[in-house]
Amino acid sequence: MENCLFCKIVNKEIPTSFVAENGELVAFDDIRPKAPAHVLILPKAHVLSVKEADEKLSGKLITLAKKIAEEKGLEGYKLIFNVGPKGGQVVEHLHLHLVGGWNEAPKKVEI
């Protein structure tokens, strides 16, 4: 896609250090991290959002996220897909957020 930020990153038009790369996927650190570790994992092919993804692609994204989390030594983490503008998706290219690396677990809420 011509004006897609993530396609430009995939095509190396915008210099980025990849955390991981294989034939179908790339992963790189978010430039505005929301946690000590915040990695974006996305397909090289332009896929708009989760709505267009099949089970195989979704599984590959999650599997790569798990591998990266293990390599980074993350004991706990979140995997987040934002779907569409009303779901918080800012870049219209499917991407999975891997966020973690906090020193403490959140406090449990008692009811």
pLDDT at 104 over 90: no
Residue 80 lies in a domain: yes
Residue 94 has a pLDDT of 97
**pTM as predicted:** 0.91
The Cα 79–Cα 70 span in angstroms is: 13
What is the residue range of 65's domain? 5-89
Residue 100 lies in a domain: no
Residue 46 lies in a domain: yes
Q: What is the mean pLDDT of the chain?
A: 94
Q: Looking at this protein, which amino acid is placed at residue 102?
A: W
Nearest to 46 by CA among 3, 86, 99: 3
C-beta of residue 25 within 8 angstroms of C-beta of residue 60:
yes
The Cα 3–Cα 24 span in angstroms is: 20
The model's pLDDT over 71-88, given as tens digits with 9 standing for 90+, comes to 999 999 999 999 999 999
Does 46 qualify as catalytic in the annotation?
no
Residue 60 lies in a domain: yes
Residue 21 lies in a domain: yes
pLDDT band at 2 (very low <50, low <70, confident <90, very high): confident
The residue count for the chain: 111
Domain total of the chain: 1
Q: Looking at this protein, which amino acid is placed at residue 101?
A: G
Residue 75 lies in a domain: yes
CATH number (domain holding residue 66): 3.30.428.10
Please identify which of the residues 38, 46, 93, 95 carries the catalytic annotation: 95
Residue 82 lies in a domain: yes
Residue 106 has a pLDDT of 67
